[in-house]
Structure formats: structure tokens, C-alpha cells
Amino acid sequence: MAVPRALVLTGYGINCDRETAFAFEQAGAEARRVHVNDLIDGHDRLDRYQILSFPGGFSYGDDIASGKVLANRVKTHLDDAIQRFIEGGGLVLGICNGFQVMVKYGLLGSPQGVVEAQRSTLTYNDSSRYEDRWVHLLPEKGRCVFTRGIEKLYLPVAHGEGKFFTDPGTLAGLEAAGCVVLRYADEEGRAAGGRFPWNPNGSLNDIAGVCDPSGRVFGLMPHPERHLHFTQHPLWTQLAEECRRAGRRLPEEGHGMAIFRNAVTYFTD
């Protein structure tokens, strides 16, 4: 098919939209940043795109709770369009604040897929402070389109409300349905087991990202758009020296690029 088009939402405190659009473009998509008001007012339409992304930032100043105001606004005005978009085979990606929006909207966090009432949340970190650090992630083998073929990830987190939390029944349902996509891990690739700083926020079962039952709707707290190039790795000079000594070529891409590439190749392969 033709190059897929990605709509990257922007407006009112969203501040990672340019980086997210750039990531999709680097992966081969045609990306456009669209203000939420332009969608609501009909100046642009979701059915012109194949990918929808809710980027990171502090939408509406994270008043009430992170992502809650934007979630309510989008659900009130665009719910029918988003439901049609998902049912029609579109991909949806939420990063950090975008993940918070999707969970509080009801797009994610339930083993039943899109639900009317919010079933899970992303709440205050156990450390009671904003966490800005790099984390190791273990992808689960399953249905998620965005993580196909990825064995490990090293990405930065930057959030104050990143703890994934839900009731025991919903948690068990998410696990059983294969909706848990990413877990926090330590340097050796072992599950973090709730240990800080490997699990930076205290998320239940070390959950860093979840998808819906279709695998086409995905959200994660870490920022893949902040690790697109090898030189964005915090230890890239050390790793470059190790590659030189071992006679290996330097990697050209950072770990986050694979997530965006998977979204594009879903439509082009």
C-alpha cells in the first residue's frame, strides 16, 4: 500500500509531538501534527490516517490527574471517530502522558479492550517524586504489533505518575489475555520484581506497557522517541569504544526506533 499516514496529536501542554512525528517519519511514515481542536472542529479527520499517536507531555497541565482532562475531552468529542478508527484496523500508540490519556479514556487497561468506564490507572510513583532515568525493558512475546521481533529495550522514563495499578481481577485478566507487553527489568534482563530503581514507579507486576486484545492499541510509560539514534544512549561513547576494540560496527539506531518501524511495516509489508 501507499506510505501510511500518522496523526500525532498536539495542543495544550503536549510537548513531545515533534519528536514523535520525526520518529514516524524516520520509520517511513508520513506524519502530521494535528491540534486536538482541529479534529474536534472537523478541520481534519481521523479517517485520513492509519496511525494515531498520543505523545508525551503535560496535557492541560496534568490538572486533576495526569492525562485525565485530555482523556475526557477526546472521549466527549471524538469517541465515535476513534472507535471507528480502531475497528477499521488503525494503530494507536500512547507514550507516557499519552499512555495516561489512553488508560483514563478506557482505550487501555482492560482485558475486554475499549471500555466505557476506566478499569486501570497510572498513579503517583512510589518514590513520591518525578523519576527521570533510563530503564531496561523486557517485551512479552504476544500479539502487540509495535513490539514484534524486539527482544529487549533500553529507554528513558520521565514521569511523576507512572505506576500502573488496577484491581486483582483486572490484572489477572490482562495477564491471561496477553495484554501485558512490557515489563521493567534489571541490567541482567531479569524481571525487576518491584525493585527500585529498575522498576522506577512501583508498577504492579513491573508493567511498563500494555496493549488491547487486538494488539493494535498500545501504550507505554518509557519514551521510545528519545532513543532513535545510537548517540542518544547515555553511555554511547563507552559502547563505541567497546565496539572499536571488538572490531564491531557501531549500531546506527537506538532501541526506540524498532517500535515506530513495526508500526509502519504493519501496513507496508
- Residue 252: predicted pLDDT: 87
From residue 241, give the alpha-carbon distance in Å to each of 12, 184, 187, 238, 251: 43, 27, 20, 5, 12
Helix count and strand count (H, E) for the chain: 7, 11
> Taking a C-beta distance cutoff of 8 angstroms, is the pair 9, 2 a contact?
no
Give how far the C-alpha of residue 130 lies from the chain's centroid of Cα atoms, to the nearest Å.
18
From 140, 159, 179, 223, the catalytic residue: 223
Mean pLDDT (whole number) for 80-88:
97
Strand partners, 51: 6, 91
| Region label for 44, one of left (φ > 0), alpha (ψ between -120 and 50) or beta (otherwise) | beta
Is 35 designated active site?
no
Residue 174's Cβ-side half-sphere holds a number of Cα atoms within 13 Å equal to 27
pLDDT tens for each residue of 98-117: 999 999 999 999 999 888 88
CA–CA dist 174, 187 (Å, integer): 26
CA 139 to chain CA centroid, Å, is: 13
At residue 120 the predicted structure's pLDDT band, cuts being 50, 70 and 90, is: very high
* CATH of segment(s) 5-228+255-268: 3.40.50.880
Q: Which of 16, 19, 96, 144 is catalytic?
A: 96
pLDDT score of 269: 83
Banded pLDDT at 55 (limits 50, 70, 90): very high
Is the pTM above the cut of 0.85?
yes
DSSP 8-class letter at 214: T
Mean pLDDT of 23-28: 98
Residue 3 DSSP label:
P
* Adjacent-strand bridge partners of 8: 33, 53
Hey, what's the cell of 167? 484491581
179 as an active site residue: the answer is no
The one-letter code for the residue type at 2 is A
Pairing outcome for strands 163-166 and 120-123: antiparallel
In the residue annotation, 225 being an active-site residue is answered as yes
Cα–Cα distance, 9 to 101 (Å, whole number): 12
3-state helix, strand, coil in the chain (%, to 5): 35, 25, 40
Domain boundaries, the chain: 5-228+255-268
- Name the active-site residue from 140, 225, 227, 233: 225
